[in-house]
Amino acid sequence: MNHLLIFSFYKNNKDYSQIIKIFLFFLFFSVHFTINALFFNDKTMNKILLDEGDFNFIYQIPQIIYSLLISSVINLFIKYLSLSEKKIIRFKQGKKLGNKNLEEKN
């Protein structure tokens, strides 16, 4: 379930938020591309021009790592705020356990 496509489009019987997960897929995709676009500036474009369009992987490594880290942190924060399925299940289980404890005391 950690794979983005499987997580977004796999239908689970216990799943409360299929629409939210599909929305999050498109949101994560756009966040990733937006953060990558922020690292393209005049210096980067000039380097591509000087290299005559060749992809210089060594020059791009820091930008790749920075964009990966920033987009991952943003995505984790969004997941934490939007996916509360585990919290709902724990709340329901706690409520059931609380009712059993009250019945046993009576």
pLDDT of 53-74, one tens digit each? Answer: 777 788 888 888 999 999 989 9
Residue 63 to residue 52: CA distance in whole angstroms: 20
Rg (alpha carbons) of the chain, rounded to whole number: 22
Mean pLDDT of 86-105: 64
Helix (H, G, I), strand (E, B) or coil at 60: helix
> What are the Cα distances from residue 62, in Å, to 28, 37, 68, 96, 98?
21, 14, 10, 51, 52
**What token pair was written down for 23?**
């929305």
| Contact (CB, 8 A) for 3 and 9 | no
10 has pLDDT over 80:
no
Could you tell me the residue ranges of all domains in the chain? 17-105
